[in-house]
Structure 1
Amino acid sequence: MDTGVPEPAERRGDVAASPAASAAAGPTAPATGASAGPTVPAGHPGWTASLLAERPVPDLRGDLARFGAGLGLASLYGLALGARQGGVSFAHHAAGVPAALVAVACLGVPALTIVLTLFDATLDAPRALSATARAAAATGLVLGGLAPAAALFVVTTTSGFTAALMGLLGLAVGGAIGVCVLLRDLRAALQRGGGLLRLAGHGAALLGFAGFAVVLALRVWWGTLPILNGDAL
């Protein structure tokens, strides 16, 4: 029935706009509480990343395991070099390559710690062991990665001098990376305070240690690896 009373403008606008608003809004998602997509689980670091990961607090057992893993990987490079001659040469090279890492860790790092005490260094033994283990792991990873190529090269080349040179080049690359990792970790542990003279003394000690480590490693490799001292040429 028409009562003659006009309908309010607001009411008429709501009724007219409701179909258009519904069409523009589109279909609404059902309120099921489910997420829009599948949840991707967080990934875990690989073995290599865990082996080279920096640890805020030194862990004796973990550092020893890391050092042992570095020695084992370095021995793979020794086995690759021993493939040129075979036989007992496998054992000589597998023991000789990681022997340089042990020599630097047992002779060079303690000597560096003693020298740093002259400059009132704050480096403690657990921190030095942690840095040494991480450097050995880095060296081992590099040498282990180069082992297949080294084995192929020393077996196929006819020149003993070239085989020795390429074997020494791989050792130099792995050793250089290990020394850089060790110096960086030790420098980070030492730069916690002190004056300019103290920091200069730390830098001089670290540079001297780097030279000593290089000479010591070369001396060990030259005396223990038959491919370098001429026995397998």
Structure 2
Amino acid sequence: MQAQAPCLLIPSSSTEPGTDAGAPEPAASRVDTPAPPAAGPAAEPAVSAAAERATSAAAGAAAAEPAARAGHPGWTASLLAERQAADLRQDLARFGVGVGLAALYGLALGARQGGVSLVQHAAGVPAAMVAVACLGVPALTIVLTLFDAPLDPARALSATARAAAATGLVLGGLAPAAALFVVTSGAHETAAILGLIGLAVGGVIGVRVLLHDLGAVLRPDRGPLTWSGTTAALLGFAGFAVALALRVWWGTLPILRGGAL
């Protein structure tokens, strides 16, 4: 019989004590660990976009406060503001405010004598404004219409109310100084001159505002005859307004006549 050689299992060389450490490992024994994503250039656009949004939000918040303050004009600015569309209620209210402020200047002039003189001067100073508004402005509107000027009664009323408000603001602002000078003046002539200067300043400013608003609707492209006619009408109205105001003030303000009642 033929003898069979025994089969010996030879262990792998990697398990032997003297095996080289640099030998390659089997593929099944290696486990690849995923590397963490690197924060490279792909993350920079998101960070920059967030920074831009934060910057724009801060800039908008900083600009919101001045804009909010600018959106609320003062009482004087709203009183003298030019309105594109005429509003009868607002125009009448503005005219009434001008008359009331002018009455304060009348009270300051009447403080020299007191008593009934206070009422006379408080009513006499705005009476000139009412006379010019009721007599002069309608006549001027008719004359300008004859020259084919694009002026309607609503526009004329708005201009009159703004002029009255400007005159009232000037006279109301001069009222404390007028009261001081009128009361402390030794001569009646000095008090009359000082009072008349304040009236002249307020009246001139009011007429200037009125002519500016009425003249804004006039255009020189309508022909030289129309332009010269409307300009002459405005200048004539200015002279008429001054003469009428002086006549009313002379008849209603005792201080201008040396204090004679």
Scaled by the length of structure 1, what TM-score is found? 0.84
Please, which of 135, 155, 158 is the counterpart of residue 127 of structure 1? 155
Please, which of 186, 203, 210 is the counterpart of residue 214 of structure 2? 186
Deviation at 1:203, TM superposition (A): 0.2
Q: Could you tell me which residue of structure 1 aligns to residue 115 of structure 2?
A: 87
Q: Could you tell me which residue of structure 1 aligns to residue 47 of structure 2?
A: none
Distance of 2:193 and 2:260 partners within structure 1: 13
Structure 1: which 4+ aligned runs deviate by more than 3 Å?
Answer: 28-34, 36-39
Q: Could you tell me which residue of structure 2 aligns to residue 35 of structure 1?
A: 58
Secondary structure, counterpart of 1:35 in structure 2:
helix
Please, which of 156, 159, 184 is the counterpart of residue 184 of structure 2? 156
Does structure 2 retain, via aligned residues, the 8 Å contact 1:84–1:232?
no
Please, which of 174, 180, 191 is the counterpart of residue 146 of structure 1? 174
Secondary structure, counterpart of 2:169 in structure 1:
helix
Scaled by the length of structure 2, what TM-score is found? 0.75
Distance of 1:67 and 1:192 partners within structure 2: 30
Does 2:242 correspond to 1:214? yes
* Unmatched segments (≥5 aa) in structure 1: 1-17, 19-27
Q: Could you tell me which residue of structure 2 aligns to residue 15 of structure 1?
A: none
Deviation per CA, 1:32-80, whole angstroms, max 9, x where unpaired? 6751564415221000000000000111000000000000000000000
Q: Could you tell me which residue of structure 2 aligns to residue 6 of structure 1?
A: none
Does structure 2 retain, via aligned residues, the 8 Å contact 1:85–1:232?
no
Aligned-residue CA RMSD (Å): 2.4
Q: Could you tell me which residue of structure 2 aligns to residue 11 of structure 1?
A: none
Does structure 1 retain, via aligned residues, the 8 Å contact 2:166–2:209?
yes
Deviation at 1:157, TM superposition (A): 0.9
Distance of 2:137 and 2:215 partners within structure 1: 13
Counterpart residue type for residue 115 of structure 1:
V
Deviation at 1:191, TM superposition (A): 2.4
Bigger radius of gyration: 2
Aligned residues: 210
Deviation at 1:118, TM superposition (A): 2.2
Deviation per CA, 1:62-109, whole angstroms, max 9, x where unpaired? 000000000000000000000000001110000000000000000000
% identity of equivalent residues: 74
Distance of 1:48 and 1:135 partners within structure 2: 13
Deviation at 1:194, TM superposition (A): 1.0
Deviation at 1:113, TM superposition (A): 1.2
Deviation at 1:197, TM superposition (A): 1.3
* Unmatched segments (≥5 aa) in structure 2: 1-39, 41-49
Deviation at 1:30, TM superposition (A): 10
CA 1:32 to 1:189, structure 2 compared with 1: closer, same or farther past 3 Å?
closer
CA 1:204 to 1:30, structure 2 compared with 1: closer, same or farther past 3 Å?
closer
CA 1:227 to 1:197, structure 2 compared with 1: closer, same or farther past 3 Å?
same
- Following superposition of structure 1 onto structure 2, how do residues 1-233 of structure 1 map, counting pairs within 5 Å? 35=58, 38=62, 39-40=64-65, 41-43=67-69, 44-191=72-219, 193-231=221-259
Deviation at 1:117, TM superposition (A): 2.4
Q: Report the more deviating stretch, 31-40 or 154-163.
A: 31-40
Does structure 1 retain, via aligned residues, the 8 Å contact 2:149–2:217?
no
Distance of 1:199 and 1:210 partners within structure 2: 17
Does structure 2 retain, via aligned residues, the 8 Å contact 1:134–1:182?
yes
Counterpart residue type for residue 71 of structure 1:
V
Does structure 1 retain, via aligned residues, the 8 Å contact 2:171–2:198?
yes
